[in-house]
């Protein structure tokens, strides 16, 4: 009798589903609602009442994806009745088989993609024109089309339907691990993006990556008004990362260090405004005065033209590529929604509110005044990168570089030392060797990155820049950060119980472990921080770092909102908007603390150009890192990292509660900053 009672409730349940479907802004659906209702009623009539919800979700999802080319309405009805599995054992067997096969496919596609990108990513290759074409090729671009054509996508969606973020949050407390796996495999087929669209996205992203990877400034050739140079002769710095890190490294350099910082700031302003002479980009043969913007060769001034808004054309190309995907993702009809609701699984509104709340907090001006006091001068816009709360700020950078160059003359030396690094962090020898065996180190053409494996048996790649004299300290600091990524990538692949749960909820969580590793870099070199003010200084450092990158992220989000409001914008219009947005965010959240208005410095980040809407992951990562670090105090670091990251890819707030007992919040950082300000007065 209960079965028929649920059949009477079916129209109400379907109404809720249809209300959700109405929000998708999807074009006319091939399968009519009458056919959907009919097949659900027929399937439900054969099964127990608890299946009604799952049948409804699965059939509706398949119907939303079915096209005329997939078969007739009758074919759709027959498919659903044939392939829906109510038996729990049969469903689990299907899940495990799908998971194993997807691991094979994704893992090998990842290997192919990684190999084809080697000439543009690694410094050991001579770059050929054809390399960029191969690097842009995406071996998995036809995956979606193929798996809808062979109906495996439909079988998956029918038996493991997609859950909204709200539903996942509601079910989180009662779902078993395998049910989380079912939910994650249900995220796979919610859209049908044509292969040609995926390929255009891959090409745009590859072009932007290549552009940024080659954006080197030969600071050894920067000159002042007296034609004097101030940096090491052969020093070249990648924008923005190396420029920023060199600026940080000069806080203990006295007047000469301040002059270097001002020169780097002027370079950054020229890049943002696109006044930078095109000929000085990655060119070791010219001298350039960034203040006057004059170019010289062998002391003689040369005529030079600015870079023609290419930076903003690259950003515009990425927007246009992402917009091509919009019509095919009704669950997330804009890239903004895909990046936050779909990717980060935290809404853009919630992220923005957290950032604006911290940036407008009373702690901002108090920390700024403390920095001003410590520097003994008024703040400049580049002091968003003030580095004086870190332990290494009191250590000689040249001494540290001499150490790292001797210790790591090449990538082989760093790779061999990974087990020792992990053991110093508390990993047992066998576990350290096991994790290290899944990581390999490559010489990077750019600043470096971490590229994880996508199947067991493959290795994660740590790509780091090492000069001919060996790894300098800044490169070492970045390499330890990337190693944190690799360790996360390895744990969340090899130590997770189901392949569909491999990974982390979003990239902020891998950034969190990377930050946690990075802040231990001096300890690994034999300089443990025994300062009684250590915790207070770390709180101030984390707060200031989060404040800076939250401002950058607010600019990034504002620009993407503007792009959707102005889809026909030109590169010149986009440039004006980015600069105006950077100034607006600066004036709202930074000007009062710095005593400077209208600085566009928040627009310098390269990720804004080559990694669309990624920037928000960094400050969220800072928040997660701070909460994780507080939780890890007094506990075995390695054991807890293994436990926490073996959770894999469940939703962020659930992951965080299981990790440390609390959801992601700015509150712990604000409270710790207030306590630190009471302790650190100069």
Predicted confidence (pLDDT) per residue in 96-121, tens digit: 999 999 999 999 999 999 999 999 99
Task: Name the pairing type of β-strands 294-297 and 216-217.
Answer: unpaired
Average pLDDT (255-261) is 97
Instruction: Identify whether residues 411 and 366 lie together within a single domain.
Output: no
5, pLDDT greater than 80: no
Among 257, 291, 309, identify where a domain stops. 309
Closest CA to 212 of 613, 616, 605: 605
Per-residue confidence band for 390, with pLDDT thresholds at 50, 70 and 90: confident
**Domain contains 125:** no
261, pLDDT greater than 60: yes
Instruction: Identify whether residues 440 and 469 lie together within a single domain.
Output: yes
Contacts of residue 251, defined as CB under 8 A and 6 or more positions apart, other chains included, come to 257, 261, 375, 386, 387, 388, 393
Euclidean distance between the first and the last CA atom of the chain, given in angstroms as a whole number: 76
Instruction: Identify whether residues 647 and 658 lie together within a single domain.
Output: yes
Instruction: Identify whether residues 167 and 293 lie together within a single domain.
Output: no
**How many domains are there within the chain?**
4
Please report the pLDDT score of residue 549 as a whole number: 97
Among 270, 292, 309, identify where a domain stops. 309
Average pLDDT (14-25) is 36
Average pLDDT (647-652) is 96
Please report the pLDDT score of residue 488 as a whole number: 97
Instruction: Identify whether residues 567 and 467 lie together within a single domain.
Output: no
Q: Which domain holds residue 287?
A: 213-309
Please report the pLDDT score of residue 446 as a whole number: 77
**Domain contains 536:** yes
Instruction: Identify whether residues 665 and 613 lie together within a single domain.
Output: yes
**Domain contains 440:** yes
Average pLDDT (133-153) is 91
**Domain contains 514:** no
Closest CA to 210 of 300, 120, 130, 295: 120
Instruction: Identify whether residues 582 and 636 lie together within a single domain.
Output: yes
**Alpha carbon distances (Å) from 600 to 270, 379, 551, 570, 575:** 11, 15, 11, 20, 11
Instruction: Identify whether residues 611 and 634 lie together within a single domain.
Output: yes
Instruction: Identify whether residues 41 and 179 lie together within a single domain.
Output: yes
Among 309, 344, 363, identify where a domain stops. 309
**Domain contains 90:** no
The per-residue pLDDT for range 611-640, each reduced to its tens digit, is 999 999 989 988 998 999 899 989 999 999
**Domain contains 364:** yes
Q: What is the widest separation between alpha-carbon atoms in the chain? A: 95
Alpha-helical runs (H) found in 122-191: 129-136, 143-149, 152-159, 165-171, 177-185
Residue 238: how many other CB atoms lie within 10 Å = 23
Per-residue confidence band for 528, with pLDDT thresholds at 50, 70 and 90: confident
Instruction: Identify whether residues 451 and 382 lie together within a single domain.
Output: no
CB contact at 8 A, 250 and 261: yes
**Domain contains 523:** no
Q: What is the pTM of this model?
A: 0.81
285, pLDDT greater than 50: yes
Per-residue confidence band for 28, with pLDDT thresholds at 50, 70 and 90: low
Note the Cα 145 to chain centre separation in Å: 27
Beta bridge partners of 306: 277
Instruction: Identify whether residues 235 and 153 lie together within a single domain.
Output: no
Instruction: Identify whether residues 277 and 159 lie together within a single domain.
Output: no
Q: Is the dihedral of CA 227, 232, 233, 234 positive or negative?
A: negative
Coil vs helix vs strand at 277: strand
Per-residue confidence band for 438, with pLDDT thresholds at 50, 70 and 90: very high
Whole-number percent of the chain with pLDDT over 70: 95
Average pLDDT, the chain: 91
CA 256 – CA 308 distance, rounded (Å): 33
**Domain contains 118:** no
């Amino acid at each position: 009798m209960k079965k028929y009672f649920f059949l009477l409730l079916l129209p109400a349940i379907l109404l809720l589903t249809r209300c959700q479907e109405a929000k998708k802004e999807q074009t006319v659906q091939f399968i009519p609602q009458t056919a959907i209702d009919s097949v659900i009623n027929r399937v439900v009539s054969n099964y127990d009442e608890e299946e009604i919800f799952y049948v409804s979700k699965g059939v509706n999802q398949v119907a939303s994806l079915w096209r005329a080319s997939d078969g007739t309405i009758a074919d759709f009805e027959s498919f659903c009745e044939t392939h829906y599995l109510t038996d729990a054992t049969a469903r689990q067997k299907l899940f495990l088989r799908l998971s194993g096969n997807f691991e094979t496919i994704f893992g090998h596609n990842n290997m192919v993609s990684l190999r084809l990108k080697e000439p543009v990513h690694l410094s050991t290759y001579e770059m050929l024109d054809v390399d960029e074409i191969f690097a842009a090729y995406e071996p998995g671009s036809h995956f979606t089309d193929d798996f809808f054509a062979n109906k495996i996508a439909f079988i998956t969606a029918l038996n493991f339907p997609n859950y909204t973020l709200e539903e996942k949050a509601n079910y989180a407390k009662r779902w078993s691990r395998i049910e989380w796996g079912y939910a994650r495999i249900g995220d796979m087929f919610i859209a049908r993006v044509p292969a040609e669209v995926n390929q255009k996205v891959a090409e745009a992203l590859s072009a932007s990556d290549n552009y940024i990877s080659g954006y080197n400034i030969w600071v050894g050739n920067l000159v002042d008004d007296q034609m004097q140079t101030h940096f090491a002769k052969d020093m070249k710095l990648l924008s923005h990362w190396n420029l920023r890190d060199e600026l940080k490294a000069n806080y203990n350099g006295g007047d000469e260090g301040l002059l270097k910082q001002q020169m780097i700031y002027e370079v950054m302003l020229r890049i943002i405004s696109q006044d930078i002479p095109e000929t000085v980009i990655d060119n070791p043969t010219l001298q350039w005065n960034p203040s006057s913007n004059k170019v010289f060769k062998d002391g003689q001034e040369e005529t030079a033209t600015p870079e023609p808004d290419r930076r903003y054309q690259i950003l515009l190309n990425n927007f246009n590529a992402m917009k091509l995907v919009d019509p095919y993702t009704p669950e997330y009809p804009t890239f903004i929604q895909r990046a936050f609701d779909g990717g980060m699984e935290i809404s853009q509104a919630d992220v923005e509110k957290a950032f604006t709340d911290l940036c407008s907090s009373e702690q901002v001006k108090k920390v700024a005044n403390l920095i001003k006091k410590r520097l003994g001068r008024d703040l400049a816009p580049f002091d968003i990168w003030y580095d004086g709360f870190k332990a290494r700020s009191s250590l000689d950078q040249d001494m540290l570089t001499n150490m790292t160059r001797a210790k790591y003359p090449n990538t082989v030396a760093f790779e061999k030392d990974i087990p020792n690094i992990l053991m110093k962090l508390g990993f047992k020898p066998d576990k350290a060797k096991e994790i290290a065996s899944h990581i390999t180190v490559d010489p990077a053409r750019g600043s470096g990155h971490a590229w994880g494996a996508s199947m067991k048996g493959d290795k994660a790649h740590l790509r780091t820049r090492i000069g001919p004299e060996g790894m300098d300290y800044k490169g070492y600091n970045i390499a330890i950060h990337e190693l944190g990524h690799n360790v996360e990538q390895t744990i969340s692949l090899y130590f997770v119980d189901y392949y569909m749960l491999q990974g982390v909820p979003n990239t902020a969580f891998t950034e969190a472990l990377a930050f946690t590793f990075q802040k231990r870099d001096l300890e690994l070199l034999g300089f443990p921080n025994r300062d009684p003010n250590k915790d207070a200084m770390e709180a101030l450092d984390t707060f200031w770092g989060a404040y800076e990158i939250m401002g950058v992220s607010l600019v990034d989000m504002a620009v993407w909102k503007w792009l959707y409001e102005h889809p026909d914008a030109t590169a010149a219009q986009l440039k004006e908007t980015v600069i105006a947005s950077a100034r607006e965010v600066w004036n709202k959240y930074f000007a009062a603390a710095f005593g400077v208005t209208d600085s566009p410095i928040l627009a310098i980040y390269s990720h804004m150009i080559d990694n669309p809407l990624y920037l928000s992951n960094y400050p969220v990562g800072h928040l997660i890192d701070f909460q994780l670090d507080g939780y890890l105090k007094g506990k075995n670091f390695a054991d807890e990292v293994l436990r926490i990251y073996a959770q894999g890819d469940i939703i962020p707030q659930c992951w965080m509660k299981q990790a440390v007992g609390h959801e992601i919040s700015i509150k712990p950082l604000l409270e710790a900053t207030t306590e630190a300000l009471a302790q650190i007065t100069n």
